[in-house]
Structure 1
Amino acid sequence: MRIIHSFLFLVSIIGLLISGIVSTTGKIPEEYPSAVTEDDHILVIVDAQLYPRIQEKLIRYLTEVTERFPVVFSVVHVNGLLSKEPIAPIELREIVQEEYQKNCTVGVICIGQIPYALWEQGVGNNSGLFSVFYEDLDGAFEDTDDDGFYDYHSFGVNEGPEIWVCWMRPPILGQAFFMNHFLEKTHQYYTGERIPEKKAFVACHEDYDNNFYGPIGVVPVLEDIYGAAHIDTDGEGTDITTAKEIWKQLRMNRYEVFDTWQHANPNYQAWDTGGFSSFNIILLPQGALMTFLYGCHSADFWTAPGTTPFNINIAVSYVFGRSLCQASSGTSWSYGTEFKYLIYEAMRDHQMYLGNAWFAMESYVETASFVEQRYPDRDPHTECAGNTLIGNPFLYANNPL
């Protein structure tokens, strides 16, 4: 049965290659209110070209979220990257700033091919998309050498970000198919049709196996959330990770959290022996509701935008594939997301949903104070963590819904 399901999902993807991408247009801007009248204000930025093809399921998603979470939505439609005149990132940032000032916005969801800004690190040959451009709203960003990449960050009165950003960004090829498939997964989860077990899986490449229990270790916090008996691990001590064993673990279980520490590139995840391509992951059954990746370029959808089935980003492939995964995270360049335990602590201690828990981490690592402590020989104005959250930000750990 699993083979049949994988085959049918693959046939759907191949059908998109044959039929091509259908383009439509939408009016800009368009807003409609949520059912909730107070609590966290969330700005939803929707690609106007994509919206007509996902409208029904997107409205259902927003309704189901407001029924279960203390949030209210405002929706704005903009021209995405596939349009003839896409909105510029600086213009989009101004919209976000206005919404923040007017509604005390706490988070932004970018749906479809929403434009992003690019950053160039001061140290090393690292550049890529950076979410903090839309998160630090009282700061300023400069492109000092006019090469199209921001490279200098002036911090505002509030040293870190003011809001969180989450990208619902399907592969470009067949984006309506993938987006509707994703929204069907969220519906099945919220209605109890497809739910994970309350347990977590942590896997560490031997280069990172101190992160089970080290200073930034994730296992102790996850044990607090789920209980020690409900945490599976792979790669501790002399044990090494193999792609075959981890794939089997993910295929046979339905975790709430999959926390990984390994080497990666934009569309490949490497273990001690073997690895997963993003195309493999698209076809993965079961898996985990939330997948938090440590690995270089693991959320780099700038260089792996999904224009073919073979250049889909790793983090994107977890969210928009067959598995029950609805949220993933990673980085834009040759760093890893080190402080993932802060996300789990926020969920454990304050029962935060994922978006706000993500903010707890971002507001710590995207500050001058953090850079000065973590990298004392670097200029904090030219250093950016480059973390990216993808998928559905409205999820709990040890789901109380």
Structure 2
Amino acid sequence: MTTATATATAIVAGHGLALRRSHPLPNPPGRATTSVSLPARPVTPARCMIVPASPSPRSRRCRSISSESSTAASAAADITDEEVKPEDEVDPQAEVCYLDPDADPESIREWELDFCSRPILDARGKKVWELVVCDATLSLQFTRYFPNNAINSVTLRDALSSVSEALGVPMPDRVRFFRSQMQTIITRACGELGVKAVPSRRCVSLLLWLGERYEVVYSRHPGFQAGTRPLLALDNPFPTTLPENLFGDKWAFVQLPFSAVREEVESLGRRYAFGAGLDLDLLGFELDDSTLVPGVAVESSRAKPLAAWMNGLEISAMEVDTGRASLILSAGVSTRYIYSGYQKTPAATQEAEAWEAAKKASGGLHFLAIQESLNSDGCVGFWLLLDLPPPPV
């Protein structure tokens, strides 16, 4: 781990809380309990709009996340809107079939997929369905509309095959999707194509692209129905007990400068066997290098097995429920775990609220790090996470 990472975890050494029964662990001999001071700036969370790595046939509006330096005297972080004017008028009824000419088709091994109704009525007065497919970098983009009486696994299977044929790319190894209600159809269609279907909310590019399409495509369609609620809303179930194999020994709220977070993400492939990053440039993050990004560091005497188990969960976010004095882990498409409880005291509540405020100040960006010790210079796994609102469709 970087020097900055080691410093960030060291300031909370001995401050871990028990993951099992919400009791503080004893401090190491001779070490006093320390607390973390996170910037509790009241900043409204921003919604990122994606800018592709290369020009796309569609117009696009970019909302960048920016911040002032995170110091004790700094004011609220600035979140600025940049309008990217379209070069051509968008046809809301046109379908998208795009592959970045600079992309290597063989390198696109994972797709993100949504197959759901849209707030649009066809000539029969029935809701239009749409397949939207992209990859994490938006080098691949594909959309197709369908009537509501043609929604089944066979239709989806054939449509996915046509993506490969139309764009000249191989079928992917994995397809991520975020709607639990469509799991049966998507899993069956992918299975017949020899593709692994992965239920996951780590479809960040897809989720943000859908938000943009709502604004620049669906809302301009002649059949658009304003105020229509999503047919398949995202699940937000009550959190359940954490499985035994996911327990750590202790954890702590930590923070890293944005520059160090970038460095950790860039080093994921060569330094860590476990973890996941995000394309910060694609997502429009323009935070100052010194902006502090909050995270959770977990210490475990069996760090490698723990990181391996966590790696298969498709972790998407962590949040603090101050009312129940709990840290909540979101994974997959509809799984929420009580990752830990903590003793509810004014000091602990203040620290938890400061952590959540820091997450908002960094545009929802946060991380999870698994270490053999909170004092260690390296970590076994590192996951960059992002709080996202549900898509409007």
The answer to whether TM tops 0.5 is: no
Select the structure that is richer in helix: 1
**Larger radius of gyration, structure 1 or 2?**
2
Using structure 1 for the length normalisation, give the TM-score. 0.30
Using structure 2 for the length normalisation, give the TM-score. 0.30
